[in-house]
Structure 1
């Protein structure tokens, strides 16, 4: 049964921060039942592709209309993605190109990313919103997002834990250094929405 997408977006408790660079944290991004359905799908699907580079070790795939399961079509297809895009415009106070890219990530034991900066890379995306879907996550599991003030590991300023149905939005700049700590136990799932601001 398809869901009314107007009742899936929640975005409760939006908090804005400027240090070490502009970013946003959100509690309860989606209605809980929808977040749970996304997690269940990511656990079951077999379409993961290995990502193994110098800076990143994970599994991932881009969300396309043809692979979205029936119960999630209203959230991830056509007009509903535009509604989600408009929600991102509200929270970032920015206008975005409508060519938003949604990527699912799966980090297994030992996987993560090195400290990096996406500014000017990845098709010139300017903002990114990460939705975490992880049931039963604990600090011992690892896989948290670290925000750094430089490329040095000693410059860690903040740790964002991948708690189920929470989100973090990053504004890219020359200072937006971040990394995903290695997963120590279990699996870490997330959806990453990559956005490009429209230049005036």
Structure 2
């Protein structure tokens, strides 16, 4: 058992904080004993011989206590830098270990999880590209059918899906009988850009 363990007790966790606390307590006790001795010396002139002997015995006890406390403070202060250095080293090692774990987790995320996510992206992006391509086919067909119907009006012209589902409502202008046409959402075909997940060509637009 080390000297600090003997001073503080084996059950006390030895940290720089506990050592500083013990130093503070010891220094407070030293101040109390010194003040007591000073007060006793002031009153010596008024004492009887018997009382004087008693006071001197009490002062001797207090001085021995001061000697022990001073030795205690000296030992604690002597060991404090070593404990602080050990704590700093432990904190630095813990930070290093935390960074190593973080780096390993980041490496795994890039090597494994990101690959799975990119594969999932490719699957979904291809599905979106197929959807947009089919919508373009439908739009082209609407144009072709409406051109044919304009020449041979055997049926009503076709209202395209953009007007049916992607156009905001028309609004009447305040204070007039005119109206403001509702705007269309951005063109999927023109606005969507789906780069490749892995090295390769764009998923959309298609080359």
Give TM-score scaled by structure 2 length: 0.18
Q: Determine which structure has the larger helix proportion and give its number.
A: 2
Question: Could you say which structure has the larger radius of gyration?
Answer: 2
* Higher RCO structure, 1 or 2 (CA under 8 Å, sep 6+): 1
Structure 1 or 2: more strand by fraction: 1
Q: How high is the TM-score relative to the length of structure 1?
A: 0.18
